[in-house]
Amino acid sequence: MNVTPHLPKNILTIRARLAEAPCWIEEEQLLYWVDIYNHRVHQFNPATNAHQFFDVGEVVGCIAPAGTHRLIMAQRRRLAFLDTRSGAIAPILTIEDTPPDTRFNDGKCDAAGRFWFGLKGNNKPTGCLYRYDSNGSLQVLETGLTIPNGLGWSPDWSTFYFTDSFLKTIYAYDFDLESGSLANRRVFIDLTAETFEPDGLTIDREGCIWSAMWNGWCIIRFDPDGKEMMRVKMPVVRPTSCTFGDRDLTTLYITTASVGLSEAEIQNSFYSGDLFSLPTSTSGLPAHHFGG
């Protein structure tokens, strides 16, 4: 196991409660992410350090690009579009029959333009994994989940990766891009022996998984066989997710959280909730838009 010799750089002091779901939009050269409990979608331009956020009125679990100057959002129980010029919100649908104490969580779009997102079961097996297609259909792909989290696809689109944080497990599935179907679920990375939990993730062009470790002070890079390759030490206890950005997609952007920390813990993890970046020797994969 290799450990990076230096810490990621703190590039934006925002003290988010629960920053998550970072997404780099190549066409705009902008980074977007959410602060779930502060009901915000953030936008950051690393070339100018310009930063703004949109108050979306309620919990927002994740976002993905959805055309020019538009994002698709999974909020508490609804999907909606956000116009990133005006801040206008256009509701898409609401799922009324979700169990109590649940909300939508992490999500991404596949190369066919379908939006995948999870329903968080609040540490009970009442969560699930949804796929929303551009024709308006909604499919349930998995049930019995607790905290559905970091997800992504291998560079050749043959494998889908999906995290259940409460179970400390990252699963792999056979994936068919044409149909959007999953098969042959198996445990890919078992972290049950650790004191921390896998949270959001991203995948690089070499097929390696970078997973943020909640309560773990680190990001771990795993090879395509699930073997740990490297730990990126973090100056905060709760990294939440990561994505590659900049023109060559070689910079790793990392979101973090301060929610639930005591005053003493915040003193030991002073920059919790801020945005970090790390130059890497690899490159990431572009984010896909909803609707293709």
Active site residue 97: no
Half-sphere exposure of 119 (CA within 13 A, CB side): 28
Round to whole Å and give the CA distance between 209 and 13.
27
Residues sharing a CB contact under 8 Å with residue 137, sequence separation 6 or more, in sequence order? none
How big is the chain by its Cα radius of gyration, in Å?
17
Round to whole Å and give the CA distance between 186 and 199.
18
Distance in Å from the first CA to the final CA of the chain: 38
Catalytically annotated residue among 35, 164, 199, 204: 199
Structure tokens at 182: 């999953």
Secondary structure of residue 44 in the 3-state scheme: strand
Q: Let me know how long the chain is.
A: 292
DSSP β-bridge partners for residue 127? 145
Among all residues, which ones are annotated catalytic? 199
